Structure formats: structure tokens, C-alpha cells
Chains A and B, each alone.
Chain A
Amino acid sequence: MSEFSSLREMSTGLAKGDFSSVELTQEHLSRIQKADPSINSFITVNPENALAHAAQADQQRAAGDQRPTVGLPFAHKDIFCTSGVLTTAGSKMLSNFIAPYDATVVTKMAEAGMVSVGKTNMDEFAMGSSNENSFFGPVSNPWNTDCVPGGSSGGSAAAVAAGLVAAATGTDTGGSIRQPAALCGITGLKPTYGRVSRYGMIAFASSLDQAGPMTRDAEDAALMLSVMAGFDHRDSTSAQRDDSWLAELAVKGIPELDQPLTIGLPDEYFRTSEHMDALEMAKAELQKLGHTFKHVSLPHTESAIPVYYVLASAEASTNLSRYDGVRFGHRCENPQSLQDLYERSREEGFGQEVKRRILTGTYTLSVGYFDAYYLKAQKIRRLIAQDFTNVFAEVDLVLAPTAPTPAFKKNQLTDDPVAMYQQDLYTVPTSLAGLPAMSVPCGFSQGLPMGMQLIAPAFREDLPLMLAAQFQRHTDWHRRRPGDAS
């Protein structure tokens, strides 16, 4: 079994009895022990729990459990609450936090027999596009360790790209699954808002947060999604949908597309030059497969960044008010008053970017500014969503770059928050509209991987999954590994 085997390949090996889940898990743990010190993609590795769950999975398989997921190792982003295991969200504030309950996603993965080997590094409270905002240190991009892996799910992306795990969970508020997937050369899917439960997922911006899979290919993304998705009464915005198609994908794999698609190319997304070669090749390949392209316009694209930073920061300032040093998380030493306890616990517990966003949100929500910022942003959010509705009347899917650049050097953008925010330029509009979008490896620039983004109408994850699977059956970008000639 290669370190770059997919979940599906490992599942076949487990079913045939080529190896046990315990053996597979042990191999993953030794890879992490050997290679992760140079990447720092994990915050917590959990050998004892992992091996116990793997042994249980082996027993389930021996007893006739034929579900493809039983015994497959993977990793959780450290934003999902795990009972009895540290959950930090990449923050000093939660560096001592052991959740008293499991997130729904954690429960679902465990019930599917999947084996979590540990929790991956991330930008603090999922705020960042480079994974340099983690209290536990930056993550390195396996393709070039001087570069960032993207963020905020940078640890999950780097762990998959380095062959430490075949799959990891991620979360995406403004691009935090798709951008690191693109920068690390892996496949990442942000599902429709409401598709995956947010219960037990540490909140950043509740009207945008959505969990999804980060994997080697579309087949594994579908398998992971089939486990993660589903209605949850504990999440008030969880969507009630018929998920039987996902269960079918898990068993049978992704079917062939039975008809060519009309793919929209939004003019506003093709104004940078670095992605053009890779995207042109991807377009040519898709054209060979019979798909047609149509130029479309999403005219409010440029206003998505300001709108996002108003709404996400406002929601963050509210969500993060719960960290007060009273009930859980970091508490300062010798507080002199309740006010002092609040202010110093928060000052010491939060990193610079988190404080910046809390203050931005506090400002835009304040009396006299609410209408000018928050309400205005909500109105433009509707215009952005309407742009997509208009476009999907003409095309089946939208194709765009995932990120404006390939992976950049560490410290390159840390002193300029506004430049860092531009990394989200092509991912934020989709988040504001709540739509599913997928990043798929499609080539290289300067020796670093590039991603193309496939955006679909709400609850049509089947479309990007089928198109990506078809593309990956005819290309090998998703099989390139760090160290391969690019």
C-alpha cells in the first residue's frame, strides 16, 4: 500500500484482507511521526485511540460489515469538538480545552467505522489564508516547505498532500477548504450551506461556516461527503434533503456523466495571468470530453471581499464573545476584577488576526454604523447570490480559478492583512451565496500546484463531483506528488 493510496484503494485492500485496519493505522501513525515534524500539519496525534478504533473496525469487518468506510484512517481539522481529546481551533484560548461532547461530523465518521488518527493544524478560529495564524506554529507546504499551504484548513491540506493521510475533514467560511486544497494540489469540496451539520464545529461566522472533505480525488470526496452530510436537528440551519444519492455514490462510486455540460466562464474571474496556462489546459481537456463553454458575468464579484469582511467579522465578534475566561478556555493569572478577567483573558488568549477581526466586527456593528456596514453588506450579499441565480439559468456549472496565486512564501503577506484577504477573491462569492464549490488540481505554475474551481447551484454537489471524476479519469494532475517533476 503506497503512502499516496486513496481511501477507495485502501478500502478495497481492507475488503480483500490484504491488510488490517490496525496495520494500516500503524503505518499512518509512523508516517506522521517521521514526516510531520518538517510540516507541522498536526496539533494532536492520537495513537492509542486510533489503534483502539482500528481494532474495533477489524472486528466489525470480520463480523461481516461491508461498508466501504470501515477501518479507513483519516484526520479531523482541529475545529471539530472531540470528547476526551484536545480541541484547540489553533488558538491559545482553547489550548487546554477538552470538549465534553462530540461534533455531529465526528459522531458520523466514527459510526461509519472511520479511524481518526489525530487533529490537524489550522489558522486560529479558521481566520486566515496561510495557516500562519496558528498558536501551534505555521504549517509548511509539502511542495515547497518555504511556502504556506493556504488556510485556514492548511494542516488538513498539507497532511493529505504529504501522504500522511488520504483524507481529512476541513471547514470553509470564505474559502478555507478550497484555497488550501488548490495550494497543496489536492481535491477539496465545500458543500452547500446546510448540507453538513455545524453542531460541535467551533463557530467563526455562522451564516457562512460549512464543513467538507479534503481528499486525493473526487471519488474519495464523494465517499467522505456521504458520511459527513445529512440532516441534524441539533443544527438550526441544517437542511432536510433526500441524501439517498450520496449513499449510492458511497457504494457504487461516482457514475459517468451521461450528457455534456454547459460550463460558464465568468469574465470577472479571469483577470489575473498566473492561472491562465493551467486553466486553459483544463478547459481544452473538458472540451475534448464534449463540454461546451459560455462566457458569463457575475458583476458584483469585486464587492464580495468587502461584504465578506463585514459579515464574517461581525459574526465572529459575536461568536467569540463566549470566550470570556469564565466557563472554559484560557483565564489570565490573578484577575483583579471581572472586567480585568474578561479583558486580559481575551487579550492573552487571542492572536493578532482574531483580535483584528473582533475589532472590525465590533466597529461595523456599533450604533450609528450598523446600517452603513452590516445592513449594506447583507443587501449586496443578495445581489451576489442573485448574480449566481441568473448565471445558472444559462449554464450547468461555473468554472473559475480557486485562488489568485499559487502558494506564496511564508511571511510574504503577514504584515499586510488586506493583501492576505485578496487570497479569498474567488472563493468568497460562493460562500456568500451558500453554493457548493470544489477545487480540483489542474496543473502547475512555478512548480507549484494550481486548482480549478467548479461552482454549482445549491444542493447540486453531484455536478462538480461527476465532472471532477470525469476530468480525473482523463488527467493525472491529482496523482502528482511533492517531488515529482511538474
Chain B
Amino acid sequence: MIESLIRQQQSSNNRFTITFFHQSLIFNMSQEISAGTIDVAHLAGLARLALDEDAQAQVSDDLKSIMAVIDAMQAINTDGVEPLSHPLDASARLRADVVTESPDPEHFQQTAPSTGDHYYLVPRVVE
């Protein structure tokens, strides 16, 4: 039996998974990648994609041509220009910090591949 329970509540379980993912994407980036070379195996690891060698070779070629197109933007002078993150330059609307919905694991876990006692089941993480 390779599956085990992660002993956390549903909501905190979700947060655990997402946080784990984002931390690995953003903060664990190796410095091995340098300009002009793309370490596809490492990149695939960060993106949590299992790519075999053939797929890596194809992706490497594709990324080189895509990055060549993207690099054309480096010629644009952006001195003194502020970045634009919302297309209409609007800021996100805030709302009152109050509970608006109550948890309904029976309903929301219907789409999960594997559950038990309102937990999501995954392979054992801690021996």
C-alpha cells in the first residue's frame, strides 16, 4: 500500500500542496541555467513534468526558437517605464475578511482521484 493519509484538514492540505509547489518553482531555482543555455531537465523538474530524453531534446529546440523571438524585446528602451500588471492599471478590489462559504468536502471531493475520511490520499511522504 503506497498511499497514506496526509494528516491535515482539507483546507490546510490544499494550502500545503500549493505552497510546496510554488516554493519549489520560485525559490529553488538553480543557478546552473545561464544565458544562452537552457537546462531542460532541470526546468522540467521545477515544472514537475517527467520528460524523457527525446522530449527534452524537442523541448530544447522549441525553447531556443521561442526565446529567440522573445529576446527581440530586449531592444526596446524601457528606461523610466513602470511595469503594467493589470491591463487597465487598476488595483485588486479588497473585500471584508469574513467567512462567506462553509466547507463541503463531500461535494468538492467528488472530483478527487483518491480520498478517505475527507482527506486527499497521496503516496507516503514521511516514512
Contacts and interface: CB of A to CB of B under 8 A. Distances in A.
A356 B62 contact: yes
Interface string A310-333: 100000011001101111110100
Residue among A192, A305, A306, A368 with the highest chain B CB neighbour number at 10 A? A306
B116 interface: no
B98 interface: no
Interface stretch (A2-10, A123-131, A343-351): A343-351
A269 interface: no
Contacts of A225: none
A450 interface: no
A461 to B, nearest CB: 14
A307 B84 CA distance: 12
Given A98-B111, A418-B65, A375 B83 contact: yes
Interface stretch (A53-61, A163-171, A290-298, A358-366): A358-366
A244 interface: no
A460 to B, nearest CB: 13
Name A's interface SS: helix
A446 interface: no
Interface stretch (A63-71, A250-258, A376-384): A376-384
A364 B70 contact: yes
B33 A382 contact: no
A100 B71 contact: no
Contacts of B33: 363, 366, 368-369
Interface in A362-405: 362-369, 372-373, 375-383, 385
Contact of B70 (A309, A379, A433): A309
B14 interface: yes
Interface in B42-87: 43-51, 59, 62-63, 65-74, 76, 78, 81-87
B83 A362 contact: no
Residue among B50, B84, B87, B112 with the highest chain A CB neighbour number at 10 A? B87
B18 interface: yes
Interface in B75-122: 76, 78, 81-90, 92-93, 95, 107-114, 120, 122
B112 A326 contact: yes
A343 B50 contact: yes
Contacts of A383: 76, 78, 81
Nearest to B47: A362
Nearest to A98: B111
A260 interface: no
Interface stretch (A11-19, A109-117, A214-222, A334-342): A334-342
Contacts of A408: none
B93 A381 contact: no
Interface residues of A, number: 80
A334 B120 CA distance: 16
Contacts of A376: 73-74, 78
A355 B90 contact: no
Residue among A305, A325, A362 with the highest chain B CB neighbour number at 10 A? A362
A83 B116 CA distance: 23
A326 B115 CA distance: 9
A303 interface: yes
Given A359-B63, A363-B63, A328 B49 contact: no
Contacts of A367: 26-27, 29, 31
A359 B88 contact: no
A86 to B, nearest CB: 11
B123 interface: yes
A477 interface: no
B7 to A, nearest CB: 14
- The 7 A-B residue pairs with the shortest CB-CB distance, nearest first, are A434-B87, A378-B83, A382-B84, A331-B113, A343-B50, A367-B29, A379-B78
Given A236-B92, A378-B84, 17 more contacts: A194-B90, A238-B93, A303-B76, A309-B66, A326-B113, A331-B113, A335-B2, A339-B48, A356-B66, A358-B49, A359-B44, A359-B49, A366-B29, A367-B29, A373-B70, A379-B78, A431-B87
30 contacts: A97-B111, A233-B95, A237-B93, A307-B73, A317-B47, A321-B18, A321-B22, A326-B112, A327-B109, A327-B111, A329-B111, A339-B48, A340-B123, A341-B123, A355-B59, A358-B47, A358-B49, A362-B25, A365-B26, A366-B43, A367-B26, A368-B31, A372-B74, A376-B78, A377-B73, A381-B84, A382-B81, A418-B69, A431-B87, A458-B88
Interface of A: 97-100, 192-194, 207-208, 233, 236-239, 300, 302-303, 305-307, 309-310, 317-318, 321-322, 324-329, 331, 334-344, 346-347, 350, 355-356, 358-360, 362-369, 372-373, 375-383, 385, 417-418, 421, 431-434, 458
